[in-house]
A and B are shown apart, each in its own frame.
Chain A
Amino acid sequence: MSATNTTEKPVLLRQQKRKHPKRTPYTIFRAIMLVMIVVIFIGPLLWMLLSSFKTNVDIQNTSKAFIFDPILENYRAVLGDGGYFQFVFNSLWIGVSSTVISLIIGVPAAFAMSRFSMHKSALVVLMARIIPGISLLVPWFYVFANLGWVGSYGVMILSHMFILIPVSTYLMMSFFDSLPRELEEASLVDGLTHIGAFFRILLPLSVPGIATAGILSFIFSWNNFMFALVLTGADTKTLPVAVFNFVSYASIDWGAIMAATVVMTLPIIVISLFLQKYIVSGLTAGATKG
């Protein structure tokens, strides 16, 4: 007991020290800068949220920037009619299915590349990131239009997979590289096949990696605009296209648009708040290794 007490004490002291930093000019400067940074990056998003609760008259009235009577009319207008739920469903369906299929293909592919030292093929994956989306879109549009498929869910899912498979393969590859080979060798010695080792040992261990790849893939699919603009029909429109089309009509209903953008952005923001660890690890996966 006494031993644990003595080891705990310095830790406590250190924590206390951290809680009361010296108020040097630098720490004050830093605090001010940090507050400014948060305001700059969050402010516009809050403005979007505020505007979605305003009437169009209040939006135009700059003296009612922060004090106004909040209303729910915009949300009622957006969610009540206009088939917005259909667009939410489209985005969800396309996002989830393209993510799942990409993972099913990408994870084993990444494992193979990582373990059988096919790192050259990583270059191909990188190329996929470099190629402008349109240069994929034009040829596929040609093919799909000739087949009469444009406007179906399948085409959208397929087109998102073009991007998601390379991304998830790349992420998973750097994840598998970080898992020690010995694990697998041990399981091979114990009588598992390569495939058995993959399913029973590595797959359970790579849940964090898969989560990262899955979340980033889903966010990408949800946010994608260009592919959806070309490849969706009236029934399969995704949220970004639906929001974009709000504007094409004569007058701009800012309140409704802001409500629609909030509905579109909220899921992503919620995901980021709870799963930020995975997003950051996905972003920095390639970076810190150089």
Chain B
Amino acid sequence: MIFVALLLVFPLGWTLYLSFTNAQGSVRSPFDFIGFENYISVLSDTERFWPAAARTGIFTFGAVALELIAGMGIALLLRRSFRGQKWVRVSMLLPFVATPVAVAMMWRLILEPNIGFANQLLSWFGIPAQPWLSSPDTSLLTLLLVDVWEFTPMVAIILLAGLTSLSEEPDEAARIDGASAWQRFWYVTLPLVRPVVIVAVVLRAIDALKTFDLLYVTKGQGGGSFHEAETLNVYVYGLSFQYNNFGVASAVLILFFLMILAVMWLLTSRKKESAA
């Protein structure tokens, strides 16, 4: 317990401390206390910080929303048992247990504009080739879709566990009362699995906010040449380990951490509301 606390409190405290200093360059070089200067410069930085924050928000919100809708659809399909269900489940396990770096590499090849299979597939349907990751305009959206591919199965499996733990009686009662399939889902099933939905959303939101491997492997340092895929996590990584600008990086980290906490607080406070 003390060990765990030590692991968390020490780094956080250290980060907080660094964020008020001008630490940079070598880790051995001395640094001074400079107060809120880092925070002021970060918060007034409309070139890197705010766009990165916005991208983090768009990426997380878009990915989690799509994953939730698709995941719920899949979970509902899998709800009743059928032959081969086991195989469908196993196949759904693979995208999110596979090494993220491998997943990123794989999609880089598939989405390669000239030799990739994605554009080949589109051409069979008469859709013109897309630039995917190579264009600043489509990069973030493409990466969002890759994230959806990777983590929809996880959401589906969590939701499925929630669905199978429900008793079928309320659903049956509603059916007898003449409710349509949609009504049964919206007014009966959904409120019952709501706690599980919130858990899935919270887990996914935390991880989506922190997405790093996928973005870094596909777009490289700084999220591409125009920073088109730079989220806060990638930004902080660049600040820390390319520019060795530890002071500023720590300030961004603290702000990022506060943002995550705020999102968590929003999500969990809604949970309490629904319970009351």
From B93, B100, B250, contact of A138 by CB (8 A): B250
Query: What's the dominant secondary structure at chain B's contact region?
Result: helix
The reply to whether the CB of A181 lies closer than 8 angstroms to some CB of chain B is: no
From A30, A48, A59, A279, contact of B102 by CB (8 A): A48
Instruction: Tell me which of A34, A129, A166, A264 has the highest count of chain B C-beta atoms within 10 A of its own C-beta.
Output: A34
From B101, B162, B246, contact of A225 by CB (8 A): B101
Please report the C-alpha to C-alpha distance between residue A243 and residue B209 in the assembled complex, in whole angstroms: 24
Chain A contact-residue range equals 35 or more
Please report the C-alpha to C-alpha distance between residue A244 and residue B99 in the assembled complex, in whole angstroms: 12
From B1, B162, B249, contact of A109 by CB (8 A): B1
Closest residue to B90 on the A side, CB-wise?
A276
Surface stretch bound by A, among B34-42, B136-144, B171-179, B210-218: B210-218
Given that A124-B4, A283-B157, A287-B199 are known contacts, is A226 also in contact with B237, CB under 8 Å in the complex?
yes
Contact across chains for A166 and B4 when beta carbons are under 8 A apart: yes
Contact across chains for A21 and B82 when beta carbons are under 8 A apart: yes
Contact across chains for A146 and B105 when beta carbons are under 8 A apart: no
Please report the C-alpha to C-alpha distance between residue A62 and residue B118 in the assembled complex, in whole angstroms: 10
CB distance from A219 to the nearest CB of B (A): 6
Please report the C-alpha to C-alpha distance between residue A137 and residue B27 in the assembled complex, in whole angstroms: 13
Closest residue to A66 on the B side, CB-wise?
B117
Closest residue to B83 on the A side, CB-wise?
A19
Surface stretch bound by A, among B9-17, B46-54, B57-65, B183-191: B9-17
From A38, A135, A264, contact of B12 by CB (8 A): A135
Contact across chains for B213 and A113 when beta carbons are under 8 A apart: no
Please report the C-alpha to C-alpha distance between residue A41 and residue B233 in the assembled complex, in whole angstroms: 27
The reply to whether the CB of A195 lies closer than 8 angstroms to some CB of chain B is: no
Chain B contact-residue range equals 35 or more
Given that A127-B8, A130-B206, A131-B12 are known contacts, is A261 also in contact with B237, CB under 8 Å in the complex?
no
Given that A121-B1, A261-B106 are known contacts, is A128 also in contact with B264, CB under 8 Å in the complex?
no
> CB-CB < 8 A to A157: which residues of B?
none
Contact across chains for A45 and B199 when beta carbons are under 8 A apart: no
CB distance from B109 to the nearest CB of A (A): 6
Please report the C-alpha to C-alpha distance between residue A273 and residue B210 in the assembled complex, in whole angstroms: 28
From A62, A165, A268, contact of B3 by CB (8 A): A165
Contact across chains for A38 and B253 when beta carbons are under 8 A apart: no
CB distance from B230 to the nearest CB of A (A): 14
Contact across chains for B107 and A244 when beta carbons are under 8 A apart: no
Contact across chains for B98 and A265 when beta carbons are under 8 A apart: yes
The reply to whether the CB of B260 lies closer than 8 angstroms to some CB of chain A is: yes
> CB-CB < 8 A to B250: which residues of A?
138
Query: What's the dominant secondary structure at chain A's contact region?
Result: helix
Contact across chains for A269 and B97 when beta carbons are under 8 A apart: yes
The reply to whether the CB of A198 lies closer than 8 angstroms to some CB of chain B is: no
> CB-CB < 8 A to B246: which residues of A?
138, 142
From B15, B27, B257, B260, contact of A145 by CB (8 A): B27
> CB-CB < 8 A to B5: which residues of A?
124
The reply to whether the CB of A257 lies closer than 8 angstroms to some CB of chain B is: yes
Contact across chains for B109 and A286 when beta carbons are under 8 A apart: no
The reply to whether the CB of B270 lies closer than 8 angstroms to some CB of chain A is: no
Contact across chains for A288 and B257 when beta carbons are under 8 A apart: no
Contact across chains for A290 and B195 when beta carbons are under 8 A apart: yes
CB distance from B207 to the nearest CB of A (A): 9
> CB-CB < 8 A to B100: which residues of A?
223, 225, 240
> CB-CB < 8 A to A45: which residues of B?
94-95, 98, 106
From A47, A162, A288, contact of B161 by CB (8 A): A288
User: Could you show 21 A-B contacts with beta carbons less than 8 Å apart?
Assistant: A33-B77, A37-B92, A38-B87, A47-B109, A48-B106, A51-B109, A65-B117, A109-B1, A128-B8, A134-B233, A134-B236, A138-B14, A139-B14, A141-B27, A142-B27, A226-B213, A276-B93, A280-B157, A284-B162, A287-B162, A287-B196
* Besides the known contacts A135-B256, A261-B106, A268-B99, 11 further A-B residue pairs in the complex with CB atoms under 8 A apart: A30-B77, A30-B82, A33-B77, A41-B92, A130-B261, A223-B101, A230-B241, A244-B101, A258-B106, A280-B157, A288-B162
> Which 8 A-B pairs rank lowest in CB-CB distance, beginning with the nearest?
A139-B14, A284-B161, A240-B101, A290-B195, A261-B102, A139-B11, A145-B27, A48-B106
